[in-house]
Amino acid sequence: MTKQHANWSPYDNNGGTVVAIAGADYCVIASDTRMSTGYSILTRDYSKIIQLADKSVMASSGFQADVRALQKVLEARHLIYQHQHNKQMSCPAMAQLLSNTLYFKRFFPYYAFNVLGGLDSEGKGCVFTYDAVGSYERVGYSSQGSGSTLITPYLDNQLKSPSPLLLPAKDAVTPLSESEAIDLVKTCFVSATERDIYTGDKLEIVILNASGIRRDYMELRKD
């Protein structure tokens, strides 16, 4: 007798793609705004990006119900941190918190593929990339979600990130200027939108730098 399998799944994939690029004194975090299920579109206007702290912005693709639950947990934990320490969490601290929060549900994971971007305590751009259970690494750029397989090779080609195996450790942040990085992100999404059915509608770009936070939008193909 074959094993009985569940006739429903607690998970769903709402699709979408997220990208983040770290610069010398800025960080760009971007995602499309399409939310899908199966071959249908649920909405063309859903933000996958959230600002968790002054200098930490998270973008997540995957199952948006789990993403929202994860965002709420991190927001509450950040409030507690502020009460206890009288200051905002730094981006590396938030990165560790996100990792721990994800691993906490190791045996019923958040179906969320996250990218955390922000400025470290020296003001340099930082990007952290995660899997669903909290394994993470600081990188110069990253892409997650349905279009990541199309975007990551392109970013590898353009940003030529040095290998983390090199000694002495070479800085992974890109020498590109802020506006060049934004153009690069736009190019990534326009290309991914062409071939990935789950990516499109609108691009939301969040830019974090010393003067604060800024949002840009760009229309994408809606088919």
Partner residues linked to 208 by β-bridges: 27, 213
Give the pair of three-digit tokens for residue 17. Answer: 């793609």
Residue 220 Cβ vs other proteins, minimum distance, rounded to whole Å: 29
Site map (CB under 8 A) of other proteins, residues 123-162, x = contact: ----------------------------------------
**Judged by CB, which is closer to other proteins: 190, or 213?**
213
**Judged by CB, which is closer to other proteins: 43, or 82?**
82
Task: For residue 52, give the 3-state DSSP assignment.
Answer: strand
Q: How far apart are CA 43 and CA 205, in angstroms?
A: 18
Task: Out of 80, 165, 166, 167, point to the residue binding other proteins (CB under 8 A).
Answer: 80
Instruction: Please give the size of the binding site for other proteins, defined by CB under 8 A.
Output: 7
Burial class (CB in 10 A: 0-12, 13-18, 19+), 126: buried
Q: How far apart are CA 219 and CA 143, in angstroms?
A: 20
Are residues 139 and 161 in contact, defined by beta-carbon separation less than 8 angstroms? yes
Give the pair of three-digit tokens for residue 123. Answer: 């003001």
Assess 83 for contact with other proteins (CB under 8 A). yes
Residue 212 Cβ vs other proteins, minimum distance, rounded to whole Å: 17
Partner residues linked to 57 by β-bridges: 51, 117
Are residues 221 and 200 in contact, defined by beta-carbon separation less than 8 angstroms? yes
**Judged by CB, which is closer to other proteins: 168, or 212?**
212
Assess 170 for contact with other proteins (CB under 8 A). no
Using the contact rule CB under 8 A, the part of the chain among 70-78, 151-159, 184-192, 200-208 near other proteins is 70-78
What part of residues 29-58 is at the interface with other proteins (CB under 8 A)? Answer: none
Using the contact rule CB under 8 A, the part of the chain among 76-84, 147-155, 166-174, 200-208 near other proteins is 76-84
Distances, alpha carbon 102 to alpha carbons 31, 67, 69, 136, 166, in Å: 21, 11, 11, 10, 29
Task: Point out which residues bind other proteins (CB under 8 A).
Answer: 72-73, 75-76, 79-80, 83
